[in-house]
Amino acid sequence: MPDGSLTDLLRHGYLPGQERIADAYGRTFTYLRVSVTDHCNLRCVYCMPEEGVPWLPREELLSFEEIVTVVQAAAACGVYKIRITGGEPLVRKGIETLTGMLARVPGITDLAMTTNGVMLGEYAPKLAAAGLKRINVSLDTLDPEKFRAIARRGNLGDVLAGLRAAEAAGLAPVKVNMVVLGGLNDAEAEAFAALTLEQPVEMRFIEYMPLEEAKGCAMGSGGFGFVPNETTKARIAARFGALEPLEVGDGMKGPAEVWKIRGAAGRLGFISAMSAPFCKLCDRLRLTCTGEVRSCLLDGGGVEIKSILRGGGRRDDLIAAFRRAAHLKPEVHKAWDEIPAANMSRIGG
């Protein structure tokens, strides 16, 4: 996370005189996650039921121009990092066009995307040409049959082809996100960690977060259990030896605690939102596909801005909405059984 110094901000396009966004606890915001659709081509067991959820009508979603207007307002007060999310962002028609529009916003110097990778083989070169810098691919198993069990749709081979296409397009180093599910894929942690031995990939292990229809699955009803990242880390260390902690620069800091296997080409990241919340380091707000600025994925609520966008509001009105959302952000999100219901496919994971 940026240290907040003027030098750091200037390096990322921030101009003196602009108002920065801060919350009640002194955290400043330089990162906006932008959900572009609630639709998804998978039905992952930790995200939604097998039959899916009701999709929103197109008119409920923000247009490309509206999304860009919000990002321009965010950039005007110090946000320089944008991540495109969903749902699955690649199912939004014309996503490469939106990517190019966002890449051209003055002040935005870090443009990334999170995808399930199913369509990435087709889109990776288009996204890179449009100005995308980095990509994260969600992949929870290396076993084709288990992939179908977890994602309920799609094919592992398409995701692996997408990873190769992303690397070939220059969207590197690629980050791979694995949600660790006890009794379902946790035994693959060592195999995923081994991917970093010869390749400069960052493998990230993410604790299951109880949202919406999947909430409670980790208590046994969904066929998997919660696994704290300390357990995953210990499992990897038992296989490959003591892990080496890594220091990362301000521009690269984030929610992951970063380690590596001795001598490995890549890195290991551990995102422990439930067992060891990293809220004090959080520098992000979220824009949902329906036009709400949310303070936190798990807690806090948000501020509706679609009416501002469609009612002739000004940039100052959007910035004021950012400030209200920031002040809804809790110091630390609620405990497991107190987290309110929310739909991850609409918020953007």
Coil/strand/helix, residue 65: helix
Residue 163, in any domain of the structure: yes
In CATH, what number is assigned to the domain containing residue 141? 3.20.20.70
pTM greater than the 0.85 cutoff? yes
How many helices (DSSP H) and strands (DSSP E) are in the chain?
11, 13
Residue 190, in any domain of the structure: yes
Residue 66, in any domain of the structure: yes
Confidence check: pLDDT of 282 > 90: no
Confidence check: pLDDT of 221 > 80: no
**Structural domain count, the chain:** 1
Q: What is the pLDDT of residues 226-263, one digit of tens each?
A: 899 999 999 999 999 999 999 765 444 567 799 999 99
Per-residue confidence (pLDDT) for residue 330, from 0 to 100: 78
Which of the pair, 296 or 64, is modelled with greater confidence? 64
The angle subtended at Cα 86 by Cα 327 and Cα 138, nearest 5°, is 110
- Report residue 96's pLDDT band, with 50, 70 and 90 as the boundaries: very high
Q: What is the pLDDT of residues 10-56, one digit of tens each?
A: 455 554 445 788 888 888 999 999 999 999 999 988 887 777 677 88
Residue 33, in any domain of the structure: yes
Which range marks the domain in which residue 203 is found? Answer: 6-347
Q: 160-181 b/e with 16+ CB inside 10 Å = b?
A: bbbbebbbebebbbbbbbbbbb
Residue 1, in any domain of the structure: no
Token pair belonging to 220: 């046994």
- How far is it, in rounded angstroms, from Cα 179 to Cα 273? 12
Q: What is the pLDDT of residues 148-180, one digit of tens each?
A: 999 999 999 999 999 999 999 999 889 999 999
Confidence check: pLDDT of 270 > 70: yes
Mean pLDDT for the chain overall: 86
Residue 216, in any domain of the structure: yes
Of the candidates 77, 175, 75, the one whose C-alpha atom is nearest the C-alpha of residue 133 is 175
